Amino acid sequence: MNRPSIPDISLLRLIAIARKETYQIFRDPSTLLVAFVLPVVMLFLFAYAVSLDTRNVRIGVVLESDGEAAQSLAAAFSGSRYFSVTPARDRREIEPAIVAGKLRGYVVIPQDFTNRLQRGRTDALVQIVTDGTQPNTATFVANYANGVIGNWIATRNLAATPAAIAVQPRFWFNPEMESRRALIPGALSIVMTIIGTLLTALVVAREWERGTMEGIFSTPATVLEILLGKLLPYFCLGLIATGVGAMLAVWVFGVPLRGSVFTLLLLASIFLIPALGQGLLISTLARNQFVAAQLALLSGFLPAFMLSGFLFEISSMPKVIQFITIIVPARYFNAGLQTVFLAGDVWSLLLPSLGALLLIGLVFFVVVLRKMRKTLEV
Amino acid sequence: MSARWIRLRAQIIKELLCLLRDPRSRIVLIGPPIIQLFVFSFAITLEVKNIDVALLNHDVGGASVELVQQIESSDLVRRIRVAGSERELAELIDAQHVLAGIVIPETFSRDVAQGRNATAQIIIDGRKANAGQIALGYLQTIVGHVGATLRPTTMSGGGGDAAAVRHWFNPNLTYRWYVVPSLAGILVTLVALMVTALSIARERELGTFDQLLVSPCTPTEIIVAKGIPAFLVGIVLASVMIGAAVFLFGIPFTGSLGLLFVCLMLFILSLVGIGLMISSICSTQQQAILGTFAVVVPAVIMSGFATPVENMPLALQWIAECIPLKHFLIILQGSFLKALPPADVFANAWPMAVIAVVTLTLATLFVRSKLQ
Amino acid sequence: MDSATSPSIRIDGVVKRFPGVVALAGISAEILPGRLTGLVGPDGAGKTTLMRLMTGLLRPDEGSIDVLGRNTVRNQGEIAHLAGYMPQRFGLYEDLSVMENLQLYADLRALPPAQRRATFGRLLEFTKLGPFTARLAGKLSGGMKQKLGLACALMARPDVLLLDEPGVGVDPVSRQDLWRMVSELTGEGMAVVWSTAYLDEAEQCASVLLLNEGKLEFSGKPAELTHRLQGRSFRVVEPEGDRRRLLAQALDLPSISDGVIQGRSVRLVARAGEPIDAARPLAEAVNARIEPVAPRFEDAFVDLLGGGPGGSSVIADLMEPVDLASDTAVSCSNLTRRFGDFTATDRVTFDVRQGEIFGLLGPNGAGKSTTFKMLCGLLKPSEGSAHVVGLDLARAASAAKNQLGYMAQKFSLYGLLSVRQNLEFSAGVYGLAGAEKKGRIDEMIDAFELGRFLDAAPNDLSLGYKQRLALACSLMHRPPVLFLDEPTSGVDPITRREFWTHINGLVRKGVTVMVTTHFMDEAEYCDRVALMYRAKLIALDTPDALKRQVARHDDHEPTMEDAFIGLIERIDAEEAVR
Tell me: do B230 and B333 sit in the same domain.
Answer: yes
* Residue after which a domain boundary falls, among A155, A171, A202: A155
Cα C517 to Cα C537: distance, rounded to the nearest angstrom: 16
Tell me: do B136 and B180 sit in the same domain.
Answer: no
What does the pLDDT read at residue B269? Answer: 93
Indicate which CATH number applies to the domain containing A144: 3.40.1710.10
pTM listed for this prediction: 0.82
How many whole angstroms from its chain centre is CA B274? Answer: 20
Q: Which uninterrupted H or E stretch holds B163?
A: strand B163-168
Residue A301 · residue A327 · CB < 8 Å: no
Residue B255 · residue B334 · CB < 8 Å: yes
Query: pLDDT digits over C478-525, tens only?
Result: 889 999 988 877 778 888 888 888 888 888 888 999 998 887 778 888
Mutation target among A50, A130, A283, A316 for the B interface, most CBs of B within 10 A: A316
Tell me: do A258 and A325 sit in the same domain.
Answer: yes
Mean pLDDT of B66-92: 84
Tell me: do B250 and B311 sit in the same domain.
Answer: yes
Residue C265 · residue C238 · CB < 8 Å: yes
User: pLDDT category, C185, cuts 50, 70, 90?
Assistant: confident
Tell me: do A61 and A39 sit in the same domain.
Answer: no
Distance from CA of C193 to the nearest CA of A (A): 15
Residue B3: inside a domain, yes or no?
Answer: no
Tell me: do A204 and A96 sit in the same domain.
Answer: no
Tell me: do A332 and A229 sit in the same domain.
Answer: yes
Indicate which CATH number applies to the domain containing B59: 3.40.1710.10
Report CB contact under 8 Å: B169, A131.
yes
Mutation target among B5, B6, B13, B198 for the C interface, most CBs of C within 10 A: B6
Total number of domains constituting chain B: 2
Q: Which uninterrupted H or E stretch holds C436?
A: helix C434-447
What does the pLDDT read at residue A174? Answer: 67
Q: Which uninterrupted H or E stretch holds C429?
A: helix C419-429
Chain A to chain B Cβ contacts (< 8 Å): 360
Residue B206: inside a domain, yes or no?
Answer: yes
Tell me: do B304 and B334 sit in the same domain.
Answer: yes
Residue B168: inside a domain, yes or no?
Answer: no
DSSP 8-state class, residue C485: E
Residue B158: inside a domain, yes or no?
Answer: no
Residue A78: inside a domain, yes or no?
Answer: yes
Side-chain-side CA neighbours of residue C82 (13 Å):
27
Residue A4: inside a domain, yes or no?
Answer: no
Tell me: do B142 and B31 sit in the same domain.
Answer: no
What does the pLDDT read at residue C460? Answer: 78
What does the pLDDT read at residue A5? Answer: 43
Cα A84 to Cα C385: distance, rounded to the nearest angstrom: 67
> For residue B147, which residues of chain A lie inside 8 Å, CB to CB?
163-165
Establish if C110 touches chain A: CB-CB under 8 angstroms.
yes
**Which amino acid, one-letter code, is at C140?**
L
User: pLDDT category, B154, cuts 50, 70, 90?
Assistant: very low
Tell me: do B318 and B190 sit in the same domain.
Answer: yes
Distance from CA of B14 to the nearest CA of A (A): 18
Tell me: do A40 and A187 sit in the same domain.
Answer: yes
Tell me: do B126 and B191 sit in the same domain.
Answer: no
What does the pLDDT read at residue A369? Answer: 82
E strand residue ranges, C36-179? 36-40, 62-67, 70-71, 83-86, 160-164
Mean pLDDT by 10 residues, chain A (378 residues): 50 86 86 84 82 76 85 87 87 86 88 79 79 84 81 64 63 68 82 87 82 80 85 90 88 86 92 92 80 83 83 80 89 89 84 92 88 68
Residue B261: inside a domain, yes or no?
Answer: yes
Q: Which chains pack against B, by 3+ Cβ pairs within 8 A?
A: A, C
Tell me: do B140 and B198 sit in the same domain.
Answer: no
* Complete DSSP assignment for A150-180: HHHHHHHTTTSPPPSEEEEEEEES-TT--HH
User: pLDDT category, C141, cuts 50, 70, 90?
Assistant: confident
Report CB contact under 8 Å: C377, B17.
no
Q: Looking at the DSSP assignment, which residues form a beta bridge with residue A78?
A: none
Mean pLDDT of B269-275: 93
Query: pLDDT digits over B215-259, tens only?
Result: 888 888 888 888 888 899 899 999 999 999 999 999 999 888 999
Which chain B residue lies closest to A126 (C-alpha atoms)? B163
**Which amino acid, one-letter code, is at A117?**
L
Mean pLDDT of B334-352: 90
What does the pLDDT read at residue A122? Answer: 63
Total number of domains constituting chain A: 2
Report CB contact under 8 Å: A1, C108.
no
Mutation target among B161, B183, B253, B346 for the A interface, most CBs of A within 10 A: B161
Candidates B90, C158, C211; CA nearest to A1 is C158
> For residue A208, which residues of chain B lie inside 8 Å, CB to CB?
none
Residue A167: inside a domain, yes or no?
Answer: no
Query: pLDDT digits over C401-443, tens only?
Result: 888 889 887 767 888 888 999 999 988 888 888 898 899 899 8
What does the pLDDT read at residue A159? Answer: 41
Residue A335: inside a domain, yes or no?
Answer: yes
Mean pLDDT of C108-127: 84
Cα A40 to Cα A36: distance, rounded to the nearest angstrom: 7
Q: Which residue has the higher pLDDT, B96 or B288?
A: B288
Put simply, the chain B residues between 164 and 203 with a CB less than 8 A from any chain A CB are 164-171, 173-175, 177-178, 190, 194, 198, 202
Q: What percent of chain C has pLDDT above 70?
A: 98
> For residue C92, which residues of chain A lie inside 8 Å, CB to CB?
212, 215
Cα B354 to Cα B352: distance, rounded to the nearest angstrom: 5
- Asked if the interface predicted TM-score (ipTM) of this complex is over 0.90, the answer is no
* Residue after which a domain boundary falls, among A106, A139, A155: A155
Residue B169: inside a domain, yes or no?
Answer: no
Establish if A15 touches chain C: CB-CB under 8 angstroms.
yes
What does the pLDDT read at residue A272? Answer: 93
Mean pLDDT of B80-108: 85
E strand residue ranges, C110-244? 160-164, 191-196, 207-212, 215-220, 233-237
Name the residue among B10, B213, B218 with its Cβ closest to that of C378: B213
Tell me: do B199 and B107 sit in the same domain.
Answer: no
Tell me: do A45 and A190 sit in the same domain.
Answer: yes
Domain that holds residue B56: 51-150
Angle at B119 between CA B117 and CA B121, to 5 degrees: 170
Instruction: Go through chain C and tell me how many residues it has.
Output: 578
* Residue B261 scores a pLDDT above 90: yes
Tell me: do B69 and B144 sit in the same domain.
Answer: yes
Residue C32 · residue C7 · CB < 8 Å: yes
Q: Which residue has the higher pLDDT, B247 or C463?
A: B247
Name the residue among B6, B7, B372 with its Cβ closest to that of C380: B372
CA distances from C222 to B345, B346, C168, C214, C298 (A): 80, 79, 21, 19, 10
Tell me: do A124 and A195 sit in the same domain.
Answer: no
Cα A157 to Cα A117: distance, rounded to the nearest angstrom: 11
Tell me: do B179 and B280 sit in the same domain.
Answer: yes
* Residue C2 scores a pLDDT above 50: no
Report CB contact under 8 Å: B132, A177.
yes
* Residue after which a domain boundary falls, among B116, B150, B184: B150
Report CB contact under 8 Å: B308, A150.
no
Put simply, the chain B residues between 203 and 222 with a CB less than 8 A from any chain A CB are none
Tell me: do A43 and A136 sit in the same domain.
Answer: no
Tell me: do A204 and A311 sit in the same domain.
Answer: yes
How many whole angstroms from its chain centre is CA C439? Answer: 33
* Residue after which a domain boundary falls, among B133, B150, B167: B150
What does the pLDDT read at residue B267? Answer: 95
Domain that holds residue A315: 11-50+181-377
What does the pLDDT read at residue B116? Answer: 73
* Residue C263 scores a pLDDT above 60: yes
Tell me: do A46 and A62 sit in the same domain.
Answer: no
Report CB contact under 8 Å: C87, A10.
no
Q: Looking at the DSSP assignment, which residues form a beta bridge with residue C536?
A: C533
E strand residue ranges, C49-186? 62-67, 70-71, 83-86, 160-164
Tell me: do A88 and A217 sit in the same domain.
Answer: no
> For residue B124, which residues of chain A lie inside 8 Å, CB to CB?
169-172, 177
Q: Indicate left, alpha or beta for B308 from its phi (over 0: left) and psi (-120 to 50: alpha).
A: beta
Query: pLDDT digits over B159-198, tens only?
Result: 456 677 888 888 887 888 888 999 999 989 988 998 888 8
Name the residue among A54, A293, A313 with its Cβ closest to that of B311: A54
Name the residue among A28, A214, A375 with its Cβ closest to that of C91: A214
Put simply, the chain B residues between 12 and 71 with a CB less than 8 A from any chain A CB are 24-25, 28, 32, 35-36, 39-40, 42-51, 63, 67
Residue B344: inside a domain, yes or no?
Answer: yes
Burial of C541 (0-12, 13-18, 19+ CB in 10 A): middle
Tell me: do B225 and B109 sit in the same domain.
Answer: no
Establish if B131 touches chain A: CB-CB under 8 angstroms.
yes
Which chain B residue lies closest to C421 (C-alpha atoms)? B14
**Which amino acid, one-letter code, is at A316?**
S
Residue A170: inside a domain, yes or no?
Answer: no
Distance from CA of C561 to the nearest CA of B (A): 30
Establish if A3 touches chain C: CB-CB under 8 angstroms.
yes
* Residue C256 scores a pLDDT above 50: yes
Distance from CA of B5 to the nearest CA of A (A): 31
What does the pLDDT read at residue B360? Answer: 92
Q: Strand, helix or coil at C29?
A: strand
Mean pLDDT of C535-560: 84
Tell me: do A105 and A218 sit in the same domain.
Answer: no
Establish if A9 touches chain C: CB-CB under 8 angstroms.
no
Establish if C81 touches chain A: CB-CB under 8 angstroms.
yes
Lowest mean pLDDT among C55-64, C333-342, C355-364, C459-468: C459-468
Residue B1: inside a domain, yes or no?
Answer: no
Establish if A23 touches chain C: CB-CB under 8 angstroms.
yes
Query: pLDDT digits over A18-28, tens only?
Result: 988 888 888 88
